[in-house]
Amino acid sequence: MRTAALIVAAGRGHRVGAPLPKQYLGLSGVTVLRHAVDRFARHPEIGLVQVVIAEADRELYYAAMRGLDLPPPVTGGATRQRSVLNGLEALAGQGLDMVAIHDAARPLVDADTITRTLEAAGRDGIDGALAALPLADTLKRADDAATVAATIPRQRLWRAQTPQVFRFERILAAHRAAAALGDDDATALTDDAAVAEMAGYRLLLVEGAERNFKITTSADLARAERELAQPMENRTGSGFDVHAFGPGDAVTLCGVPVPHNQGLAGHSDADVALHALTDALLGTIGAGDIGMHFPPSDPQWRGASSDRFLRHAADLVATRGGRVINVDVTIICERPKVGPHRARMRERVAEILGVAVDRVAVKATTTEKLGFTGRGEGIAAQAIATVAVPVQEQA
């Protein structure tokens, strides 16, 4: 199914007590919003990420999202429900099956929670699903004097979180119906599940995570910093690939078409540089090699763009809580000349991986006319990748 993530980031967040809206505050070196967007942008089942922002935050948004390939942000409304509806309307007509709606103020959502919620929402007879936690504390109801008036049974009570995932056309219709009631009634609906409930939809509760808390106060922001301060270790992987020249008038290197009097022979687009880099990334987490994930015997990969392979490897790193620190690619050939295209190659790799360009190196060398590359029979590439991943406890 084609699924989009809708990240709601139009609120002002005054209770955090900062000069900027909380979604643009720094959290371990990047903004709260960037953390939330990255979690969905790297998830293999999310095909599109759309962010809803306040118009006044446009410059802050573009600074926070630098390096990501996202559609233009949607301007939010006076209420959360209006903001979500604006985002849904912007996504209408794009052939979506599902949409995952998530609060930007929940930057620590994990890939497993996203996956569980997507799976539950896709079940037959279900209109949507939401991450939530069963209530563990005893509940008390107070009177006007703040004295205990009653104890509320906690059985079957859950604390709702996001993401909340819905069949796209159903939740769009529900939000349109809520908006038709007027802003006062819509404001009373505190999340998208409430909008769906009002429409009579059937929703599943999915086990969320304590770490997926909402940043509301400065204490929450400090807690998020502590959560992200888990021990990390650096891992390095290497990759090597070779492709022979064949018929054609260009070769693809690092995702960039380079004019040449020959092409490269291969099952996919034969991008020897991205193939080597994909293996290097897979090596950092012990995830096998490119052939295990994209077998050359499988016809669906014939002529495929190799950026899909590299993105898949980066997604696997991200789902393990890791991030790319830097990558280094060396292209080995006599022809074509790499230098004139080097800058664009670095930019393209950075785009695919969602990292800054200064974390990407692309170099070229020859073998001084020695060997198959020296004879002009093909191109080789080697790559090294370094990632940071959470320290795993030893078995």
Over the stretch 29-88, which tens digit does the pLDDT of each residue have?
A: 788 999 999 999 999 899 999 999 999 999 999 988 988 889 999 999 989 999 999 999
How do residues 17-40 score in pLDDT, each as one tens digit?
Answer: 677 889 998 888 788 999 999 999
Mean pLDDT score, 384-391: 90
3-state secondary structure (DSSP) of residue 272: helix
DSSP state of 362: E
Model pLDDT, residue 392: 64
| pLDDT at res. 184 | 62
> Which of 249, 292, 256 minimizes the C-alpha distance to 274?
256
Quote the percentage of the chain above a pLDDT of 70. Answer: 96
318 in the same domain as 348: yes
- Residue 310 located in a structural domain: yes
Looking at the structure, do residues 203 and 132 belong to the same domain, yes or no? Answer: yes
Residue-level pLDDT at 200: 95
Query: Are residues 184 and 267 located together in one domain of the fold?
Result: no
pLDDT of residue 395: 34
Q: Does residue 28 sit in the same domain as residue 161?
A: yes
First to last CA, the chain: 37
Q: How many CB atoms lie within 10 A of CB 80?
A: 20
Question: Per-residue pLDDT averaged across 297-314, rounded?
Answer: 87
How much is the pTM?
0.62
- Segment holding 254, helix H or strand E: none
d(CA 223, CA 218): 9
Report CA-CA distances (Å) from 324 to 26, 121, 213, 241, 360. Answer: 19, 31, 25, 21, 10
The reply to whether 192 and 205 lie within a common domain is: yes
Of 178, 210, 228, the domain-final residue: 228
Residue 381: is its pLDDT beyond 80?
A: yes
Answer yes or no: is 44 within a domain: yes
pLDDT number for residue 394? 39
Name the pLDDT band for 303 (thresholds 50, 70, 90): confident
Structural domains of the chain, count: 2
- What integer pLDDT is reported at residue 393 of this predicted model? 46
311-314 long-range Cβ contacts below 8 angstroms, 24+ apart = 311/352, 311/353, 312/44, 312/278, 313/278, 313/281, 313/282, 313/287, 314/42, 314/281, 314/352, 314/353, 314/354
- Among residues 228, 250, 283, the one where a domain terminates is 228
Name the DSSP letter for residue 113. H
Q: Out of 16-25, 287-296, 340-349, pick the least confident.
A: 16-25
* 335 and 199 within one domain: no
- Tell me, yes or no, whether 395 lies in a domain: no
Check which CATH number belongs to the domain holding 172 and give it: 3.90.550.10
Write the burial class of residue 334 (CB in 10 Å: 0-12 exposed, 13-18 middle, 19+ buried).
middle
Cα–Cα dist 386/53, whole Å: 34
**Average pLDDT over every residue of 259-264:** 94
Residue of 47, 72, 54 whose CA lies nearest to 168: 47
- Count of Cβ atoms closer than 10 Å to residue 355 Cβ: 18
Domain of residue 383 covers 232-390
